[in-house]
Chain A
Amino acid sequence: MSEGINQSDQPVAREGDAPDLFSKFDPLIKQRADLLASGIEDPFSLVMERVLSPTQAICNGRETILLGTYNYMGMTFDPDVVESGKQALADFGSGTTGSRVLNGTYQGHRECEDALKEFYGMDHAMVFSTGYQANLGIISTIAGKGDYVVLDIDSHASIWDGCALGNAEIVPFKHNDIEAMEKRLKRIPEGAGKLVVLEGVYSMLGDIAPLKEMIAIAKRHGAMVLVDEAHSMGFIGENGRGVAEDQGVMDDVDFIIGTFSKSVGTVGGFCVSNHPKFEIMRLVCRPYVFTASLPPSVVATAATSIRKLMHNADKRAHLWENSRKLHKGLKERGFTLGTDVPQSAIVAVIMPDLERGAAMWEALLTEGLYVNLARPPATPANMTLLRCSLCAEHTSEQVDTILGMFERAGKAIGII
């Protein structure tokens, strides 16, 4: 027996700090180390030790109000939703272990797609394993070589990655700039396929898009239109279908992309459409085909939640009240906000820089409030943001408490 066999693998000893494939991350590693060295808690590795309700959790042993979870309609603890998940788990098991096009389509996936078709009043619905994959799959599949994708520069990472995965020509325009969009559409060579990609609510600043104007222009130039309504589903528009519904242009949208991880309260993504050939997507869309489908419990909770969201006018009204109250209160206290008026359930508080943003984030956490710290490159114009997302289950008293916390933290850090 050779000696080598008895020896376990030895880690390769690195001499010094020779450059390798990780060297490109050095500036970020340094920035992060510097920030943590100043004694600030890492804003990107918080652990929710227990979750008490859609609006409260225990973090670092402390009861914390949740104001950064996108749990807009507070469906995560809805008794009907939870019960349907339990039932599906018992009846269908913990997972499908298969692709939607092989063994991964259960009764529950069909029922979930039926619920979506009804919710949006559309002919086709396709459920993906995440919202990210829905954008990735649809955009990369429908816009092929020689086609053009015209998109807002502030689009979500999943939209950009969908562009990167496909072979189309990618043409961005300045955020929400109708004229810039039109100019680009005009210049696209005749005969080329065109896809305009917009979002209902842009999640960083919580502002909405002028969909009515933009979609009219897109249609005039013969483009197909995809709208990501991830941050509007469930509470914007008369039936909670989103900004396109609110602005009366649902019929001109070719594809709506959405997610289950916000108002619906679980995980998953979808695309709904009236296109007569839409079903072929199930065979040609790789992020749909080459991944396992959602577990039965997840699609069951999603379907139950979607059906309940159709009849939620009171909760929608309360969520809007919360958003207006928080926006007004923060403005009165001297904070700089992402929008002049509340346009969605997201209120973004603009921080002067990353250091003070992180300090403010930590001060709020110590107060017992969780918000999102958003930083470049996820943010527009290299801004550092404290992003607040409200929930229909936040009480009016909780919003008062939140405003008090912001005031104390803002004064302690010297932002107001």
Chain B
Amino acid sequence: MDRVDIDTRIRSLIEPFNKKGVEISDSTTFATDLEFDSLTVMDFVAAIEDEFDIIISMNQQAEIENYGQLVDAVCKLQND
């Protein structure tokens, strides 16, 4: 799966969590722009993990601040 496919799938996964309909770009941050709290993060991460059959540990999550970094991380985990 290439980056574009992964990006498309994550974009559709993020929709129900993007309550304010913020426009998503690679630099959109989860904490500030999307205002995700810890519970939202858990549910959102679980949705991605289930979709791609991967684990994104909290250690890895700590490195992911914006949307682009998330897509990169999922690409990397998919190819590992």
Contacts and interface: CB of A to CB of B under 8 A. Distances in A.
Interface in B29-80: 37-39, 42-43, 46, 49-50, 53-55, 57-60
Given A381-B39, A382-B37, A170 B57 contact: yes
A341 interface: no
Top-3 shortest CB links A-B: A169-B57, A170-B58, A187-B55
Contacts of B50: 183
Interface residues of A, number: 17
Contacts of A377: 38
Contacts of A169: 55, 57-60
Given A172-B42, A174-B42, A381-B39, A187 B57 contact: no
A187 B42 contact: no
B60 to A, nearest CB: 8
Contacts of A187: 49, 53-55
Contacts of A148: 55, 57
Contact of A188 (B38, B39, B42, B55): B55
A188 B77 CA distance: 12
B55 A171 contact: yes
B1 to A, nearest CB: 17
A69 B60 CA distance: 38
Given A180-B46, A183-B49, A187-B53, A382 B39 contact: yes
A50 interface: no
Interface in A124-183: 148, 153, 163, 169-174, 180, 183
Contacts of B59: 169-170
A189 to B, nearest CB: 8
Interface in A193-250: none
A184 interface: yes
A377 B37 CA distance: 11
A383 to B, nearest CB: 11
Given A148-B57, A184-B49, 4 more contacts: A169-B60, A170-B59, A171-B55, A187-B49
Contacts of B58: 163, 169-172
Nearest to A169: B57
A172 B50 CA distance: 14
Nearest to B52: A187
Interface string A113-129: 00000000000000000
Contacts of B43: 174
